[in-house]
Amino acid sequence: MLGTITNTCTIIVGSVIGAVIKNGIRPEWQKVLFSAMGLASLALGFNAVCHNMPRSQYPVLFILSLSIGGLIGTMLDLDGRFRRAVDKISKNKDQQYPLAQGLSTGVLLYCIGTLSIVGPINSALLGDNTYLFTNATLDLVTSAVLAATYGIGMVLAAPILFCWQGSIWLLARLCGDIIPPALLCELQIVGGILIVASGLAILNIKDCKTLNLLPGLAVPVVYFLILSLLS
Spatial separation of the C-alpha atoms in residues 135 and 189, rounded to whole Å: 18
The pLDDT tens digits of the residues spanning 161-215 come to 999 999 989 988 887 666 788 988 898 898 889 888 888 887 889 888 888 998 9
Nearest to 4 by CA among 101, 118, 105, 133: 133
The pLDDT, as a whole number, for residue 94 is 46
- Look over the chain and give the mean of its residue pLDDT values, rounded to a whole number: 84
For the ranges 61-70, 109-118, 120-129, the lowest mean pLDDT is seen at: 109-118
Using pLDDT thresholds of 50, 70 and 90, give the confidence band for residue 230. Answer: confident
Kindly compute the dihedral angle of the four CA atoms of residues 25, 31, 37, 41, in this order, to the nearest 10 degrees: 170
Average pLDDT on 25-34 reads 76
Contact by Cβ (8 Å): 118, 166: no
Q: What share of the chain in percent tops pLDDT 90? A: 27
Average pLDDT on 92-108 reads 72
Neighbour-count burial of 156, counting CB atoms closer than 10 A to its CB (0-12 exposed, 13-18 middle, 19+ buried): middle
Residue 215 per-residue DSSP state:
G
Number of domains comprising the chain: 1
Spatial separation of the C-alpha atoms in residues 60 and 156, rounded to whole Å: 34
Spatial separation of the C-alpha atoms in residues 192 and 163, rounded to whole Å: 20
Domain boundaries, position 226: 2-230
Q: Is the pTM of this model over 0.85?
A: no
